[in-house]
Structure 1
């Protein structure tokens, strides 16, 4: 007896599961492929996985087939029907139905491709797909390499050395520079993001030759909650050794 891999609708059942195949008199096994495909035309694309797994579980529970064989069976059914619609007369009265059915099958075909862990599809399709993936990866690698080469321009072999223990003094000077105004009233330097300064210091400066942690430096650049300064690291009075003042016009 030729068993179908798909779960049939029980005879004279008027409240079947929506994924069961067949009519109220059951499923003709010789037409199970038609019934399986008819459901694909009617369900939403987001249901493809549930629909496929519903019938896969039926086949596995009844020891009809294993996962790979089930996949190959469904793949073949879909491919045969896609080819059928592709050769139909585009000027026939049923062209609109054929076109929509072909679109749905191609969507389902895309889903099948995404679950083919066995490379069970024809080898030329698998090879073509893998070549496309490799080509895309090469393009990504080339793009990343270009970006890396551009960033290398900003790399330094030796960081600027701040005298050991005087990083707070240096930060105090930077904070003073942040507050400087030009004769026009505009700021000399301006950044909307506090993290810029810790990253700048950490990348290009050292504490007596030792690297500086960006996370530690961020404690000097905390924001405000309203008018209240958030908790952070204050620069102590003994580290405020310099004062930057504007030059008087008379001194120029």
Structure 2
């Protein structure tokens, strides 16, 4: 079976590739892409793979945009950090998903489910020229767009994951020494050169063993907010918020962050609500 992995966090993509190899040596990862543009280019210049693992949020947009540009006839297993409320869209359309951080058992279960869904791939084209799979995928993406923007029963949007419990500490490795950092000591998390770090309120900086995507759904959304693809900030670390061009916001953090922290126009309203607007 040939597999394309669409995932913009390289450590997550490599981890998934390793898990697939451990599960079945006949599974062949023929490509790994990290953005909408890169994925579209790959799909247009290569044979359609037997299976696609597709992240929802990519470096340059959402994976929905890929489907809008390329007719995908492969089955798709989504990888996502969205909460179970949003995930209902996937199960309705019999498209599986993996909740980050990805676990081997979940990959096995997803592949087993794929085998049961094989019959879908052999259905004849419908009158509009689309396969049953393409129609199912299109319906799924439409539902996800609606659900991802709608508040759930608890008042959070689907873009804000709600796991059963949140991390209250992180284990840090410094040489041969191990110690814990409590969450209330952390000002923000950030990524640099494909590695993730935490910075404490007293300006100490430590490497952490999780990607920013994984951290995003480990943290209490009332206390932490993902400002952009690089930074997740704690409420007390947000010093000032300035209006920026094209509806964006610029955030100043304490302790100071080395780069400009810009919040996209799409997330600006959510940030204002989180801050108490």
TM-score range for the pair, normalised by the shorter chain length = under 0.3
Of Structure 1 and Structure 2, the greater strand share is in 2
User: Structure 2 length as normaliser, TM-score?
Assistant: 0.21
Which structure has the bigger radius of gyration? 1
User: Structure 1 length as normaliser, TM-score?
Assistant: 0.23
